[in-house]
Amino acid sequence: MLDWSALLGEWPEEVSESHNIAPGQVVAGFSLDGAHAMRWGLIPAWSDDLSGKYSTFNARVETAAIKPAYRSAWRHGRRCLLPALGYYEWQRHPGGKRPHFIRHADAQPLLFAGLYESARGTEIPMSCTILTCAARQDLASIHHRMPVMLSIEQGRTWLRAEMAESTNILAQTTGPDIASYEVSQRVNNARNDGDDLIVPLNHLNH
């Protein structure tokens, strides 16, 4: 496991490193009060629905402040950081979608801006969503959206600053230098895991 604690603080013990995390599973999230295990897929403050009927694993940064599912977390400053080795995105092709792995060009961790809702009793777990923005030019050919990616310093501002300054950080960041490449279709099955999933497809075929 990467030494996340050197970057953000103590890693939550309940969360294991995975190379294929799907919505509804547990991820590591960091808020002002420390590290937490969070369900990926925000459960709105007014909801007790765990069915996954509503897609809340991503929130558009342009509308998060007004969308019913996210506006309470936004208004009350429930902000978090979600670290990752990288993320998968699927590019449309005539023969079907092809998965790509997108990571830091220097193989450093990526840090996504997110929102969270606290646990409520024993029935509703702590949950989160990843904020997304329009994809920059080098990623737009794969998908038109991308996660909001922050540096460590920007991440600290996102968590700690007043909302106006934190929102400016989201508008200004373009993210780090990125490497992207096609990977195996095995990633399409959430039951598959292992670091072979992030090996470039052209390496697997040789």
Q: What is the mean pLDDT of residues 12-37?
A: 90
User: CA 37 to CA 11: how far, in whole Å?
Assistant: 9
| 5: pLDDT strictly greater than 80 | no
> Please, are residues 113 and 25 in contact by the beta-carbon 8 Å criterion?
no
**Beta-carbon contacts of residue 14 (< 8 Å; ≥ 6 apart):** 26, 37
Show me where the domains of the chain are located: 22-85+108-175
Q: What is the mean pLDDT of residues 175-197?
A: 94
> Please, are residues 79 and 166 in contact by the beta-carbon 8 Å criterion?
yes
Query: From its phi and psi, is residue 146 left (phi > 0), alpha (psi between -120 and 50) or beta?
Result: beta
Task: Supply the pLDDT for residue 6.
Answer: 57
Would you place residue 4 in the very low, low, confident or very high pLDDT band (cuts 50, 70, 90)?
low
| Report for 30-34, 43-47, 48-52, 66-70: range of highest mean pLDDT | 66-70
Task: Map residue 178 onto helix, strand or coil.
Answer: strand
Q: Which two tokens stand for residue 30?
A: 């960091």
For 50-117, what is the HEC assignment?
CCCCCCCCEEECCCCCCCCCCHHHHHCCCEEEEEECCEEEEECCCCCCEEEEEEECCCCCEEEEEEEE
CATH second-level architecture of 22-85+108-175? Answer: Alpha-Beta Complex (3.90)
Would you place residue 174 in the very low, low, confident or very high pLDDT band (cuts 50, 70, 90)?
confident
> Please, are residues 144 and 135 in contact by the beta-carbon 8 Å criterion?
yes
Would you place residue 101 in the very low, low, confident or very high pLDDT band (cuts 50, 70, 90)?
very high
Task: Map residue 193 onto helix, strand or coil.
Answer: coil
Q: What is the mean pLDDT of the chain?
A: 90
